[in-house]
């Protein structure tokens, strides 16, 4: 019985090519932005930010996804497990004072919903720049998820749920 090596070579070539392409695909890394006309540092480590719009979430290339999250969905990223609780995210807080823009680099160690989703309280640790204090105006919080995958629960399934005015999409 004569065995042809051509089909085996073709299969090996396809398997190798597929594994090379699949290694080049990186998982989505989500970034989050919350903006508000005002916010308040109620202590040296607590930032309370009203939720005037949903939190915007997006990924960079090559995934290019985006959507919106409610305050409850965003805060659930600090639940127990493979979440921000285990690996707190870096963030940049910006605010306006007169005609000057200020910024602070922080790590967000905890988050909780206040007023039935009308505000979020963040526990922050200052890493660099100037420490915010008191009432802040023209506030934006830019949150970096790092390299982990973060999940929220929806029934028995776990997925990152993004809520958009036009549609609801699950990414996971």
Give 73-124 as a DSSP string: HHHGGGSSSSSTTTSPPEEEEEEEETTEEEEEEEEEEEEEEEGGGTEEEEEE
Nearest to 110 by CA among 80, 82, 136, 68: 80
Strand, coil or helix: 18 = helix
> Which comes out higher in pLDDT, residue 37 or 65?
37
Q: Would you tell me how many other CB atoms lie within 10 Å of the CB of residue 41?
A: 20
Q: Which two tokens stand for residue 66?
A: 């985006």
- What confidence tens digit (pLDDT) does each residue in 120-153 have? 999 999 998 889 999 999 999 999 985 444 443 3
| Mean pLDDT of the 14-41 span | 72
> Which stretch of DSSP H or E encloses residue 67?
strand 66-69
Q: Would you tell me how many other CB atoms lie within 10 Å of the CB of residue 59?
A: 18
| Band of pLDDT at residue 15, cut at 50, 70 and 90 | very low
């Amino acid at each position: 019985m004569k065995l042809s090596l051509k089909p085996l070579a073709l299969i090996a070539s396809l398997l190798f090519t597929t594994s090379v392409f699949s290694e080049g695909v990186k998982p989505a890394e989500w970034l989050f932005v919350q903006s508000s006309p005002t916010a308040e540092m109620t202590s040296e480590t607590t930032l309370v930010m009203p939720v005037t719009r949903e939190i915007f979430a997006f990924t960079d290339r090559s995934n290019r996804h985006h959507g919106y999250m409610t305050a409850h969905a965003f805060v659930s990223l600090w639940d127990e497990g493979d979440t921000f609780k285990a690996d707190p995210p870096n963030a940049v807080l910006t605010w306006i004072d007169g005609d000057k823009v200020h910024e602070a680099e922080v790590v967000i160690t905890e988050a909780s919903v206040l007023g039935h989703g009308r505000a979020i309280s963040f526990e922050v640790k200052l890493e660099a720049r100037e420490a915010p204090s008191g009432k802040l105006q023209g506030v934006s919080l830019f949150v970096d998820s790092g390299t982990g995958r973060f999940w929220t629960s929806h029934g028995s399934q776990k997925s990152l749920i993004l809520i958009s005015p036009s549609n609801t999409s699950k990414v996971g």
